[in-house]
Amino acid sequence: MTACLFVRGGAAALLLFTCGSAVCAEPFPFDQDLLLDAAPMRPGKRMPMLNVETNGNARIDLWCRTVPARVAVSDAAIKIEAGPLPETAPEMQSAGQCTPERMQADEQLLAVLLESNAWRTEGPVIVLDGSKSLKFRLSDH
C-alpha cells in the first residue's frame, strides 16, 4: 500500500514538473488552417488564415495577398518572420475584390502578426499576443 502511494505521488509530481502547472497547455495546431476570428471585409468572402507546418514553414493568407513565412513556436512563445508582401493582388482575385482598403488592411494585419511574441489557447480559440491580440479558430473547410 505504501509503495503504491509512493508511485502515484511520484507520477503526479512528474506530471506537474513536465507541464509546469496542474493543467497542461494544448499543443500548437500545426498543419491546420487557422481562420482569423474577425468580421468579413466586403467586398469579397476571403478571410485571413494562417497555416504553420511542423517544420516551421508557414503560409499567411491576408485579406487579398498571401505571403510565405517562417514560424518558431515553443511552449508559450511564437516568432513570425514573413517574406515580402506582394505589391499587387493575385490574378485569381475577382474584379473589385482587392480594394485599396483591403490592401491597406493586409499591411496592417501583417504588421500585427509580425509583432506577435506569445500564443495561448482559450478553449477552441488560438490567441496570438503582441502589440494587439489576434484570435484564430480552426477552419472547418
Supply the CATH number for residue 38's domain.
Answer: 2.40.128.270
Q: Read out DSSP for the chain?
A: -HHHHHHHHHHHHHHHHHHSSSSPPPPP-TTSEEEE-S---SS-----EEEE-TTSEEEEE-SS-EEEEEEEE-SSBEEEEE-PPPSS--TTSPTTSS-HHHHHHHHHHHHHHHH--EEEEETTEEEEESSS-EEEEE---
Please give the pLDDT value at position 129.
Answer: 98
Query: Is 6 a member of any domain?
Result: no
- Look up the domain containing 50 and give its range: 26-138
Please give the pLDDT value at position 94.
Answer: 65
| Whole-number percent of the chain with pLDDT over 70 | 80
Please give the mean pLDDT across all residues of the chain.
83
Could you report the per-residue pLDDT of 49-90, keeping only the tens digit for each?
A: 999 999 999 999 999 999 999 999 999 999 999 999 988 777
Query: Is 12 a member of any domain?
Result: no
Query: Is 16 a member of any domain?
Result: no
Matching residue, cell 491580440: 133
Could you report the per-residue pLDDT of 79-123, keeping only the tens digit for each?
A: 999 999 988 777 776 667 788 899 999 999 999 999 999 999 999
- pTM recorded for the entire structure: 0.79
Query: Is 14 a member of any domain?
Result: no
